[in-house]
Structure 1
Amino acid sequence: MTGDTQSSRTTTERLNSVLRHDLPASLVVFLVAVPLSLGIAVTSGAPLVAGLVAAVVGGLVAGPLGGSVVQVSGPAAGLALVVAELVRTYGWRATCMITLMAGVLQVVLGAFKVARTALAVSPAVVHGMLAGVGVVIALSQLHVVLGGQPQKSAIENIVELPKQIVDNHSHAVAVGVLTIVVLLVWPRLPHLKTIPAPLAALACAALTAGVFGWDVARADLSKGFSEWATPALPSGDWHGIAGAVLLVALLAGVESLLCSVAADHLHDGPRADLDRELTGQGVANLVSGALGGLPVAGVVVRTTTNVRAGARSRWSTMLHGVWVLVFAVGFGWTVTLIPLEALAALLVFIGVRMVNLGTMRGLHGHGELPIYVLTMGAVVVVGLAEGVLLGLVLAALFALRRLTRVSVHVSLEPDDRWHVMVTGSLTFVGVPRLTDSLRSIPAGATVDLDLNVDFMDNAAFEALHGWRLEHERAGGSVAIDEMHDEWYTFAAKGTRVSSAKTPPKAPDRWWLPRAYRRGGPLSAIPVRRSGAWVPSRAEHGGGAVPDLLAGAKDFQRRTAPLVRPILTRMARTQDPSHLFITCADSRVVPSLITASGPGDLFTVRNVGNLVPRYGATPPDDSVLGAIEFATTALNVQTITVCGHSRCGAMAALLSAGEKTSGLPGLERWLRHGDHTLARYILSDPTGEDEGPLDRLCRVNVAQQLDNLRTHPEVARLESEGRLELVGLYFDIGATRVHVLERGGFTPVSGHAAVSLPARGAAPPAS
Structure 2
Amino acid sequence: MTALTQHTDNQDNSPGSRTTWRQTFGKDFTASLVVFLVALPLCVGVAVASGVPAELGIVTGIVGGIVVGLLPGSTMQVSGPAAGLTVLVADTVAKHGIAELGVIVLGAGLLQILLGVLRCGTWFRAISPAVVQGMLAGIGLVLIVGQLYPLMGGTQPSGTWAKLVGLPELTVRALTTPAGLTALGVGVLTIIVTVLWQRTPPRLSVLPGVLVGVVVATAVSVIAGFDLHRIEVGSLHDELRLPDLSLLNAGVLGAAVVFALVSSAESLFSATAVDRMHSGPRTRYNTELIAQGAGNTFCGLLGALPMTAVIVRSAANVQAGAQTKASRVLHGVWLLLFVVLLPGVLGLIPSAVLAALLVHSGWKLLGLKGVAGMLRTDRAEGAILVLTAGLIVATDLLTGTVAGLLAAVIKTAWDVSHLSVTVTPRGDDDEVVVLRGNATFLRLPRLLAVLEGLPLTKHVRLDLTGLRHLDQACQQAIDNWASRHREAGLDVDVIHAP
1:153 and 2:166 matched = no
1:8 and 2:8 matched = no
Distance 1:265 1:59 in 2: 21
Residue in structure 2 matching 1:179, options 175, 187, 190: 190
1:385 and 2:391 matched = no
| Contact 1:90-1:234 at 8 Å conserved across structures | no
The 3-state SS of whatever aligns with 2:470 is strand
The 3-state SS of whatever aligns with 1:450 is strand
| Contact 2:139-2:366 at 8 Å conserved across structures | no
Larger Rg: 1
Per the alignment, residue 44 of structure 2 pairs with 38
Query: Greater helix share, 1 or 2?
Result: 2
Alignment of 1:177-326 (within 5 A): 177-191=188-202, 192-221=204-233, 223-233=234-244, 238-326=249-337
- Normalised by the length of structure 2, the TM-score is 0.84
Alignment of 1:353-372 (within 5 A): 353-357=364-368, 359-360=370-371, 364=375, 365=377, 367-372=380-385
Per the alignment, residue 337 of structure 1 pairs with 348
The 3-state SS of whatever aligns with 1:217 is coil
Distance 1:334 1:482 in 2: 74
Per the alignment, residue 454 of structure 1 pairs with 469
| Contact 1:363-1:369 at 8 Å conserved across structures | yes
Paired letter, 2:70: P
Residues 187 and 252 of structure 1: CA distance in aligned 2, closer, same or farther (over 3 Å): same
Per the alignment, residue 573 of structure 1 pairs with none
Per the alignment, residue 4 of structure 2 pairs with none
Distance 2:459 2:110 in 1: 70
Paired letter, 1:19: G
Alignment of 1:540-559 (within 5 A): none
| Contact 1:449-1:480 at 8 Å conserved across structures | yes
Distance 2:18 2:289 in 1: 29
Shift of 1:359: 4.5
Q: Which runs of 5+ in 1 are unaligned?
A: 484-766
Shift of 1:308: 2.8
State the Cα deviation string for residues 658-717 of structure 1 (Å, max 9, x = none). xxxxxxxxxxxxxxxxxxxxxxxxxxxxxxxxxxxxxxxxxxxxxxxxxxxxxxxxxxxx
Residues 291 and 426 of structure 1: CA distance in aligned 2, closer, same or farther (over 3 Å): closer
Shift of 1:465: 7.5
| Contact 1:55-1:321 at 8 Å conserved across structures | yes
State the Cα deviation string for residues 166-194 of structure 1 (Å, max 9, x = none). 12233111112222222333323345422
Shift of 1:409: 6.3
Distance 2:410 2:460 in 1: 39
Per the alignment, residue 373 of structure 1 pairs with 386
Equivalent residues, number: 475
Per the alignment, residue 438 of structure 2 pairs with 424
State the Cα deviation string for residues 85-105 of structure 1 (Å, max 9, x = none). 232233323312322232233
| Contact 1:426-1:453 at 8 Å conserved across structures | no
Residue in structure 1 matching 2:55, options 49, 53, 75: 49
State the Cα deviation string for residues 200-240 of structure 1 (Å, max 9, x = none). 2111211221232222111122x453433213416667111
Per the alignment, residue 404 of structure 1 pairs with 417
Shift of 1:269: 2.2
Distance 1:103 1:462 in 2: 49
Alignment of 1:433-582 (within 5 A): 436=450, 449-459=464-474, 462-463=477-478, 466=481, 480-482=495-497
| Contact 1:447-1:478 at 8 Å conserved across structures | yes
Structure with greater contact order relative to length (CA < 8 Å, sep ≥ 6): 2
Distance 1:172 1:453 in 2: 62
| Contact 1:468-1:478 at 8 Å conserved across structures | no
Residues 132 and 306 of structure 1: CA distance in aligned 2, closer, same or farther (over 3 Å): same
Per the alignment, residue 69 of structure 1 pairs with 75
Residues 268 and 464 of structure 1: CA distance in aligned 2, closer, same or farther (over 3 Å): farther
Paired letter, 1:427: F
| Contact 1:172-1:215 at 8 Å conserved across structures | no
| Contact 1:427-1:455 at 8 Å conserved across structures | no
Paired letter, 2:240: A
Paired letter, 1:9: G
| Contact 1:418-1:447 at 8 Å conserved across structures | yes
Percentage of identical aligned residues: 35
The 3-state SS of whatever aligns with 1:188 is coil
Paired letter, 2:391: A
Paired letter, 2:88: V
Per the alignment, residue 528 of structure 1 pairs with none
Shift of 1:115: 2.5
Shift of 1:329: 2.1
State the Cα deviation string for residues 2-38 of structure 1 (Å, max 9, x = none). xxx9921232023212323x23322222221111111
Alignment of 1:76-95 (within 5 A): 76-95=82-101
Shift of 1:84: 1.5
Paired letter, 2:261: L
Shift of 1:246: 1.9
| Contact 2:452-2:481 at 8 Å conserved across structures | no
State the Cα deviation string for residues 143-169 of structure 1 (Å, max 9, x = none). 111121111111111111011111223
The 3-state SS of whatever aligns with 1:451 is strand
| Contact 1:430-1:460 at 8 Å conserved across structures | no
Shift of 1:40: 0.3
| Contact 2:385-2:404 at 8 Å conserved across structures | yes
State the Cα deviation string for residues 575-611 of structure 1 (Å, max 9, x = none). xxxxxxxxxxxxxxxxxxxxxxxxxxxxxxxxxxxxx
Residues 253 and 445 of structure 1: CA distance in aligned 2, closer, same or farther (over 3 Å): closer
The 3-state SS of whatever aligns with 2:347 is helix
Per the alignment, residue 116 of structure 1 pairs with 122
Distance 1:435 1:31 in 2: 67
Paired letter, 1:30: F
Shift of 1:369: 2.4
Residues 358 and 171 of structure 1: CA distance in aligned 2, closer, same or farther (over 3 Å): closer
Q: Which runs of 5+ in 2 are unaligned?
A: 1-11, 176-180
State the Cα deviation string for residues 605-638 of structure 1 (Å, max 9, x = none). xxxxxxxxxxxxxxxxxxxxxxxxxxxxxxxxxx
Distance 2:216 2:432 in 1: 74
Q: Which region of structure 1 is more displaced relative to structure 2, 97-106 or 68-77? A: 97-106
Paired letter, 1:53: V
1:143 and 2:155 matched = no
The 3-state SS of whatever aligns with 1:168 is helix
| Contact 1:154-1:381 at 8 Å conserved across structures | yes
1:394 and 2:407 matched = yes
Residue in structure 2 matching 1:131, options 126, 133, 137: 137
| Contact 1:30-1:320 at 8 Å conserved across structures | yes
Shift of 1:296: 1.3
